[in-house]
Structure 1
């Protein structure tokens, strides 16, 4: 499976779900995936099909598709799953040249929309074809697909992206962009080792996804919706759960530092709180879902470290509060040394964003986000333990 074939992307047809699929005429001869079955793509190499679940993304979807067309190894087809849309997402996707499929009666958000489309798509593809799943609010850099294909050829079961924050969001957006820059640095230093294939973008061999479906039906993995769906619709973090599934089946995952993309940032403290509460609670519940295994032990360890961090932060803040209330504030060399280490860490780890951001980081203003996330983590742990009603 060559990583960078020179063949042009296959022309696109537009399909709308219903009792009888309807195909809109293309402006030039076109062969849809369904019509091409069982033959291979005309270039004789594996096909790459992008699947983009989208709910009311009319402002972004055209650029998301355009970024796929700019890949140095273009994808062969782009399928936008219009999930309960009330805006012009479907129309804009068609105009941009994508195939559009509408979800039908989906009540399970992204995971449900993906399962519907993948159940239709997977039987039409060959074992060594590739599926790219990406969020509608993300745009891939030109080398993403070719880099991911290279790693799939090396035997990885899933290849994920390394994301940076998009523009906007004011101070909240700025903090997230710094956070994502640190994540990218960590991934680079670990040579692509990652805990989760994020939902921003990930690529899988068809054979790998079929393996997941068969394992769910056989009871070797959590059943999810009970019909062999690739994504578990019963969890808050379906991408984290899918990573667990792949690892338990013996597949390796990686997020190469060259698989870069830009993703949307949350533009308010409220939306950031909602996002991170879902992420954290979902990760905790995925651990309980799988139990303590050869795969999950490191995830349990990460949760323990996070919980310890929450407790240390509470003790630290309580100490400061007591000192202020008792008028016993004084400079302690030990705490000054620890604070100096934190300042250096903040400066060095944001260097991907340039020296100006490094100078700003020395002011330690990012503690605002740190303590915000600590509070979010504490709430997630409490919700998971008390089994409060889950919402997204």
Structure 2
């Protein structure tokens, strides 16, 4: 199999001398009331060129037809018990069920119930581990599914531009995507063994931190803390649903950002979080730049003589071209939105509000809410 350039850049001399092929692949799908998309998710696993040896749906407090659909499709279903930790709790119960029977070089694929994999996802992920087992986790390259709403289109633009940046950085990522990520059993066990100590917070023996609002980000940091170098693979493609309304988008982004901040507060300013702290500092600084510029322009208009220089108009087409190129793979509707620029500015303004609200929630502390 041909490996993408993103992960092929690391010399083979740095890999193990005798790479071993994973013996088994176990796919785990956490699902809470996912009757609409669960069949397509399972079907995408069954259509793999290298199909998983076992598919397990971790049905968490489902009140719809998720369990019946999964069983009708012939996959194994675990109905969680006494779980109040949402997705992290469901995943921990599923892992407690499968990990004891696996070998260290086996792999576990965790994917959301609203995602679909490309046909070579599993085979490509296993090929990476064969050469670089110390990755620990290989994240899929997540693409936003098509949806007619404007907010969905803006998310598609965001995902496309973000993925382009990740691929240009040789697959280095902020978070192993919950949409679909493959882990080695050895890496998951190491995290579980070291939880509750000075390196990784949480409850010893659990893979996922059940107190985290963003369990996928927290696990990414944990893997880095114990010596792994997780990446995103350009040829492991996963198509995932996005939020169809502004209300759903706001709730999701509050959870994502608050969970990220709380994870950083928990770990502190350590070797494997310093870049993340810098990213957050820059993120919040960026949100106040428009306000600062508005203040400067207002002052100039009121107290100084303002001269217009046509030269600065040349910047606009350059910026438009950059946005067009970065958004090209998202389709013609996205290209129009990106070229207009203003829709993206509005979207970033909404993002900024969500960031500051999440910071307030994270600093306030108290009982944590699960914001889906």
Shared fold, TM over 0.5: yes
TM-score normalized with structure 1 length:
0.83
1:372 aligns with 2:360: no
Q: Is the 1:169–1:265 contact (alpha carbons within 8 Å) kept by the matching residues of 2? A: no
Using CA pairs under 8 Å that are at least 6 residues apart, name the structure with larger relative contact order, 1 or 2. 2
Q: Tell me the equivalent position of 2:6.
A: none
* Per-residue deviation, 1:284: 1.3
* Per-residue deviation, 1:234: 0.8
Q: Distance in 2 between matches of 1:133 and 1:125?
A: 15
1:245 aligns with 2:222: yes
More off after superposition, 382-391 vs 73-82 = 382-391
* Per-residue deviation, 1:143: 1.2
Structure 1 residues 230 and 45, CA, compared in 2 at 3 Å: closer, same or farther? closer
Q: Tell me the equivalent position of 1:213.
A: 192
More helix by share: 2
* Per-residue deviation, 1:324: 9.0
Unaligned segments of structure 2, at least 5 residues: 3-20
More off after superposition, 307-316 vs 204-213 = 307-316
More off after superposition, 248-257 vs 356-365 = 356-365
Q: Distance in 1 between matches of 2:327 and 2:306?
A: 31
Q: Is the 2:28–2:109 contact (alpha carbons within 8 Å) kept by the matching residues of 1? A: yes
* Per-residue deviation, 1:217: 4.6
Query: Which of 344, 347, 350 is equivalent to 2:327?
Result: 350
Q: Is the 2:166–2:172 contact (alpha carbons within 8 Å) kept by the matching residues of 1? A: yes
Q: Tell me the equivalent position of 1:382.
A: 360
* Per-residue deviation, 1:361: 1.7
Q: Tell me the equivalent position of 1:108.
A: 85
Q: Tell me the equivalent position of 2:182.
A: 203
TM-score normalized with structure 2 length:
0.87
1:72 aligns with 2:49: yes
Structure 1 residues 275 and 335, CA, compared in 2 at 3 Å: closer, same or farther? farther
* Per-residue deviation, 1:191: 2.1
Q: Tell me the equivalent position of 2:142.
A: 163
More off after superposition, 346-355 vs 331-340 = 331-340
Once the two structures are superposed, the pairs formed by residues 8-27 of structure 1 within 5 Å of their partners are none
Once the two structures are superposed, the pairs formed by residues 21-170 of structure 1 within 5 Å of their partners are 46-153=23-130, 154-155=132-133, 156-170=135-149
1:187 aligns with 2:166: yes
Q: Is the 1:185–1:352 contact (alpha carbons within 8 Å) kept by the matching residues of 2? A: no
Q: Distance in 2 between matches of 1:381 and 1:244?
A: 20
Q: Once superposed, which parts of structure 1, at least 4 consecutive aligned residues long, lie more than 4 Å away?
A: 317-326, 328-341
Structure 1 residues 120 and 313, CA, compared in 2 at 3 Å: closer, same or farther? same
Q: Distance in 1 between matches of 2:153 and 2:302?
A: 34
Q: Distance in 2 between matches of 1:354 and 1:167?
A: 10
Structure 1 residues 93 and 212, CA, compared in 2 at 3 Å: closer, same or farther? same
Q: Tell me the equivalent position of 2:13.
A: none
1:271 aligns with 2:258: no
* Per-residue deviation, 1:387: 2.6
CA displacement, residues 317-345 of structure 1 (integer Å, 9 cap, x when unaligned): 4556778999x987565864554554233
Q: Tell me the equivalent position of 1:312.
A: 289
Q: Distance in 2 between matches of 1:321 and 1:159?
A: 49
CA displacement, residues 199-235 of structure 1 (integer Å, 9 cap, x when unaligned): 1111111111110110015553102xx2421100111
1:262 aligns with 2:226: no
Unaligned segments of structure 1, at least 5 residues: 4-43
